[in-house]
A and B are shown apart, each in its own frame.
Chain A
Amino acid sequence: MYNILIGGAAGQGIDTTVAILEKLLKKSGYYVFTVRDFMSRVRGGHNFSMIRFGTEIITSHNDKLDGIIALNDETVVLHKYKLKEKGFILCDGSLSAEGPQVIKLDMDKMAKNLGNARVLGSIAVGAVLKLFGESLEDVEDIMKASVKEQYLEINLEAIRAGYESVEARFAHMEGKFSDWMLISGSRALAMGAIAAGLQFYSAYPMSPSTPIMEFLASKSNETGMVVEQAEDEIAAVNMALGASYAGVRAMTGTSGGGFCLKVETLGFSGIAEIPLVAVDVQRPGPATGLPTRTEQSDLKFVISAAQGEFPRMVIALRNHEDAFYQTIRAFHLAEECQIPVIMLSDQYLGDSTATVKPYELSNIHVAEAAKADETEGEYLRYRLTQDGISPRLVPGKSRHFVSADSDEHDEGGFITESAQVRRAMMDKRMRKLKKLEEELLEPEFLGTEKCTTLLLGWGSTYGPIAEAVKGLNEDGKGEYGALVFGDIYPLPVKKLEKLASAVKYIINVEQNATGQLADLVREKTGIQCSSGILKYDGRQISGEEIVQRIRKGA
């Protein structure tokens, strides 16, 4: 497995360079996993990406580097200590880095000689390919799809020039992933929504959720979807609800701050029983927090957001497969139970790219609106039913009136203050929880069944936890296992209760300061975690970090 870092200032074209390089590496057969670490600014500062690639599945970033591609001096200073002994630093001849590991290339001059200073990144791409013993076979195809036609030739020349100016240092390894997809978490989520039949997406820009809106917009004419940039998040969520009421699949997305503004409407979706899919791509809070960084600190907020009580579902996305398949399921559950379904992603998952098996469309199932039984006579939108799910007609599509109310209402949807109707309606809505509980997916178990230490995690720490458990069990003793929750509210407890009684230690691993999952677990099961590994500096914990912290006696 190899691991390289590409760093520089915002505006130096790191994104493009990384996107091209990761595609080329994946095409040549590698499994590729790339994380993006950037600052909340448009120019300057320090941004970097780490591309990890190998012949096996990779689920976490790692800090030990085989190479650094430095576009400025700062990159060298900040990351040099992460370099393995045989590692290299590739940089421009003008940088001040010195030493046996440094490979200096006059990339800037070469680019200018080729006629465009901006092809510097492509020169670096060429050099990296050569260093890792790659061929130039797929370069033309990939570049055709990545750059505008008028710049294709000069970029190809730049790649060839870079390729020829260094010697190979590492051997190419034969992987089997060239036919898999390479996709970011946010795009995977967006693809899931498209596959689920999303026709209306409304949002207000906010990092790190904006890539969902951008991707959906870029495909809106092809998929026939309306993507509307709302005037604020309150508008965004009310638009999604209005569209959903009128019969189209609708979604709204934001980060924690925007989600705060949507809270009242979440309860409206609950009482009016209008399906709603709402995404929170988490970043560190409170308030504006760290806009472009990662955290898992909105769990307790979203499971209880909004006044009053109503059934809701919260799904934490664990990886780039979940992001697709669980998004489809979110639409299904929202429609089936006529509830709000919240999906929790975060910057780490949203902006990272991973290699996944091409998504399978043959098993997609999304419920249709519950039909009205015409033989029952009068159509009652909020008919009291056994499972709590009432027939949901769409306005303008039948000879019935369809109502939606944020006030408490009777079966016909008329405002009421009757104590009896209030109880009946609360009970009816709460009955939907039963159906929801039948649909719950238990957390995924990793490691060995006979483990004595159980790690608990949720959402995007799945990958790092998976790598950690593998590492911890390498000694063959099989002492470690983990449960990583995807469905997290209502909390599925069966597997957890079974395992908890068998293990000695339970350690929650979370990307927040207070251990929100541990709290939820204790509230719902009485199970107490022995200790917690908590990280809240805006940087995702890696598999290796988890191993180290456990070895140190977390």
Chain B
Amino acid sequence: MDTFKTYETAWCPGCGNFNILRCLKKALEELGKSPYEVLMVAGIGQAAKTPQYISANRFCGLHGRALPAAVAAKIANEKLTVIVDTGDGDSYGEGGNHFMHNIRRNVDITHFVHDNQIYGLTKGQASPTTGEGHVTDVQVDGNANTPFNPILMAVSAGAGFVARAFSGDSEHLVSIMKEAISHKGYAFVDILQPCISFNKVNTFAYYKSRVYHIEESYNPADKMEALKKAMEAGDKIPIGVIYRETRPDFHEKKQILNTGVPLVDRRTDLQVVQKLIREFV
């Protein structure tokens, strides 16, 4: 099919990002997306370079600020398929406030976090998801902070689609990506991704031995179950859809957006401006 091209990257050989990129291409192609309708948005970081490596529109913004730009682009043109691909530091650290509030805003975009539990581009400092005790050049006595649980946060803040995936499980990752992109509303996927250069704790083998596919019998529509699932950690890490619920998205809730005509295709009516001017006379 090859409707999407991928380009040469600047990632370290063996990085989990390669497979995330491959799976993204596959997911988009299997969904029959046209590259011209896809907008890739990122902040800054190694993960955030993803939009540079795939043939689509791209908005490579500031560190931590991918989400506000992404949702606004979607508000401006609902015909775009907007996908944010960026890092754990970017999404949960610098951009933590935007993460929390865009869950609430529920604009129809997809948010893939390449969660390597470390700051990769800046060479290995602790990220919000770095494990307790993890020693780095900065956290010399071991990371003292409690790791942030993005899944728990997303479920509790009211996200309509919350999933976890693993960069080393391609088939599963593609299917989760397809589900997330197809979900109407804000869809969030935390993708476990080994960083071979700067995270010697959470390695490929570490993840491989711990992740398991969530049981068939699990009901992702049950929020209380989802909260429990979100808190599973340690030796067994569940991957799959943890919570799913369809709620009216931003466009459906905003009267003026719910017209079928994208904002970008409309023009302000000067008659209306004239009427407003008269209101001041």
Contact = CB atoms under 8 A, between A and B. Distances in A.
A181 B254 CA distance: 31
B21 interface: no
B9 to A, nearest CB: 11
B72 A243 contact: yes
A336 to B, nearest CB: 18
A221 interface: yes
B65 A238 contact: yes
Interface stretch (B33-41, B161-169, B189-197, B203-211): B33-41
Interface stretch (B212-220, B221-229, B269-277): B269-277
Interface string B55-84: 111111110010111111111110110000
B98 A268 contact: no
Contact size range, A: 35 or more
A268 B62 CA distance: 7
B73 to A, nearest CB: 4
Given A242-B76, A246-B80, A361 B55 contact: no
Interface of A: 179-183, 187, 191, 194-195, 197-200, 202, 219-226, 228, 230-232, 234-236, 238-243, 245-248, 250, 264-265, 268, 358-359, 361, 364, 394-407, 413-415
B1 interface: no
A487 to B, nearest CB: 24
A342 B166 CA distance: 45
B233 interface: no
Contacts of B273: 191, 194-195, 223, 361
B55 A199 contact: no
Nearest to A361: B270
Contacts of B278: 358
Contact of A238 (B58, B68, B274): B68
Interface string B12-29: 000000000000000000
Interface of B: 35-37, 39, 41, 44, 49, 52, 55-62, 65, 67-77, 79-80, 97-98, 100-101, 254-257, 263-264, 266-270, 272-278, 280-281
Contact of A240 (B72, B264, B268, B274): B72
Given A194-B268, A242-B76, A361-B273, A398 B60 contact: no
Given A242-B73, A248-B76, A221 B36 contact: no
A507 B219 CA distance: 75
B44 A199 contact: no
B268 A198 contact: yes
A222 B76 contact: no
Nearest to B7: A414
B59 A404 contact: yes
A226 B256 contact: yes
Contacts of B49: 415
Nearest to B10: A415
A271 to B, nearest CB: 10
A425 to B, nearest CB: 15
A248 B263 contact: yes
A235 B35 contact: no
B65 A200 contact: no
8 contacts: A180-B281, A238-B72, A243-B76, A247-B264, A396-B57, A401-B57, A405-B58, A415-B60
Contacts of B256: 220-221, 224-226
B72 A403 contact: no
A395 B263 contact: no
B104 to A, nearest CB: 9
Contacts of A404: 58-61
Those 3 A-B pairs whose CB atoms lie nearest each other, nearest first: A242-B69, A242-B72, A246-B76
Given A232-B97, A404-B60, A415-B52, A181 B281 contact: yes
A235 B58 contact: no
Residue among B52, B254, B268 with the highest chain A CB neighbour number at 10 A:
B268
Given A199-B76, A395-B59, 6 more contacts: A199-B263, A224-B268, A358-B281, A401-B58, A404-B58, A407-B44
A79 B80 CA distance: 60
A44 to B, nearest CB: 32
Given A191-B276, A361-B273, A398-B36, A242 B59 contact: yes
A396 B272 CA distance: 29
Contacts of B73: 242-243, 245-246, 395
Contacts of A197: 267-268
A235 B274 contact: no
Nearest to B99: A231
Given A194-B268, A396-B77, A235 B61 contact: no
Given A199-B266, A219-B276, A361-B274, A395 B39 contact: yes
B97 A235 contact: yes
Contacts of B277: 181, 191, 358-359, 361
Contacts of A248: 76-77, 263-264
Given A179-B281, A238-B72, A226 B263 contact: yes
Nearest to A249: B268
A406 B62 contact: yes
Contacts of A223: 268-269, 272-273, 276
A200 B272 contact: no
Contacts of A402: 57
Given A231-B98, A242-B59, A396 B80 contact: yes
Contacts of A399: 36
B92 to A, nearest CB: 15
Given A231-B97, A248-B263, A200 B76 contact: yes
B44 A406 contact: yes
Contacts of B267: 197
B72 A239 contact: yes
A399 B37 CA distance: 9
Contacts of A264: 62
Nearest to A179: B281
Contacts of A398: 36
A250 B235 CA distance: 48
Contacts of B62: 238, 264-265, 268, 406
A199 B57 CA distance: 22
Contacts of B76: 199-200, 242-243, 246-248, 250
A478 B70 CA distance: 58
A241 B68 CA distance: 9
Contacts of A224: 256, 263, 266, 268-269
B59 to A, nearest CB: 5
Contacts of B59: 242, 245, 395, 403-404
A231 B100 CA distance: 9
B56 A401 contact: yes
A241 B277 CA distance: 28
A245 B268 contact: no
Contacts of B72: 200, 202, 228, 238-243, 246, 250
Contacts of A397: 264
Contact of A200 (B41, B61, B67, B263): B263
A335 to B, nearest CB: 14
A241 B65 CA distance: 11
A396 B69 contact: no
> Which has the most chain A C-beta neighbours within 10 Å: B65, B100, B255, B278?
B65
Interface core residue of B70, B74, B263, B274 (most chain A CB under 10 Å):
B263
B232 to A, nearest CB: 29
